[in-house]
Amino acid sequence: MWKEKVQEYEDQIIADLSGLLSIESVRDDSKATSDAPVGPGPRAALDYMYQIAERDGFTVHDVDHIAGRIEAGKGEDLFGVLCHVDVVPAGEGWDTPPFQPTVTDDAIIARGTLDDKGPTIAAYYAVKILNEMNVDWKKRVHIIIGTDEESDWKCVDRYFKTEEMPVLGFAPDAEFPAIHGEKGITTFDIKFNADAASDDDAEVTLLSLESGQRYNMVPDEAVAKLSVKTSNSDVTERYQQYLEAHELTGTSELEGDTLVLRLKGKAVHGMDPSIGLNAGLYLIHFLNGLELDANASQFVDLSERYLFESHFGEKMGMKFHTDKMGDLTTNIGIISYEKGKGGEYGINLRYPEGFEFDEAIEGFKHEVNELGFELELGKVQRPHYVDKEDPFVQSLVQAYRNQTGDMTEPYTIGGGTYARNLDKGVAFGAMFSDSEDLMHQRNEYITKKQLFNATSIYLEALYALCVEE
């Protein structure tokens, strides 16, 4: 029944999704204003969702242009569908323009198709179809839309300061059959201030290094600029040998008197950095073998001591695992250094329930302080967990099973979704076990089958939870 209903809307779903994907909704603080708190792109994507909702007869409510909601249903209890329309930067190496959606016979290719614009449109259409069926709603439904999920969650922080908290809800921003637990997540910066009395007689002076744009992405590119006292060719030759030995891709070239080294990595979502290739850390690993100036040597040594080839917090003394939630992970998403000023490492840490977070951070902070670094802790989101036997979780899973025949059990992840805002919230789709996970990677796409099947599952789940009761 539900799949047949979705078939009637397939062309509309693709058209509305394509419009949303065409908006480059990447956070841009340099263009932020009171009317666009995280930049014009996320604001435009939020407005786009309001426009299609008003076209379809829904009431919308805006909260300071950083978040808002689309309202449906009726009743005392409130059910939330928590989505986001911001995306991470596209990065390099796409086969098609990342913000000009390419629609093929079986897929849509663009940044955000999986995370989270495709699932947002699927969930929206589930509510729209039920509404156009004139169902007898037993609950109110708020599709809550954020614009800063990929960075600091300013959107939901602001939204829930003044707006009603749903009793139940899901975030269509992960995998089926359901995600009933999420690791704790935090970011922190390890900062280094350069000593003005640095050794200027060093063979190699590190002028600058840049890698990464987001804490929750493995950096796929790194650039270092060096001043070499005697032989650029010797450093270049050693670099080529390093690249070959580690099966890496990179280049070296002279720009005037400056030697520029570039290294390519593999970007993946920061929740499992072990499957990516961190360009910044590998470039620093090479630099560590050179006779660097004192400041740079101190900076790169920290990476060697604590960060390089340590995806699970081993070198930080934070290795931790539980059967329920898996391993603690550390992603070094942002690295920067400038001669005479210093540098920093931006780290995304994800940890299971049971990890003594406060104690571990304090201990690590003391260690880096002893080495001349400062640790600045960002926002801390504690682990989130809902028992998988809870009737709410079981209702979602049953809708999935009815539509797919797949009896897979719900599980926990290292990613973080808006579901953790709710006492009883879970992540629910829209990826299936056979979906290729290109979240935060180039050539991100969603298949039409996945998009339409997710819509059908959301339809059945919302009907069971908000109409049938």
- Which position among 24, 86, 293, 444 bears the catalytic label? 86
Distance between start and end Cα atoms, the chain? 19
**Structure-derived torsion over alpha carbons of residues 214, 219, 223, 226, reported in degrees to the nearest 10:** 90
- The answer to whether the beta carbons of residues 85 and 127 sit under 8 Å apart is no
For 154-179, give one letter per residue: b (16+ CB within 10 A) or e. Answer: bbbebbbeebeebbbbbbbbbbbbbb
Can 293 be counted among the known catalytic residues? Answer: no
Helices 10-21 and 117-132 meet at what angle, rounded to 10? Answer: 140
Residues forming a β-bridge with 336: 210, 344
- Residue tagged active-site, from 24, 149, 175, 220: 149
Measure the CA–CA gap between 460 and 126, rounded to whole angstroms: 8
Between CA 147 and CA 45 the distance in angstroms is 8
Q: Would you call 86 a catalytic residue per the annotation?
A: yes
- Hey, which residues are catalytic here? 86, 149
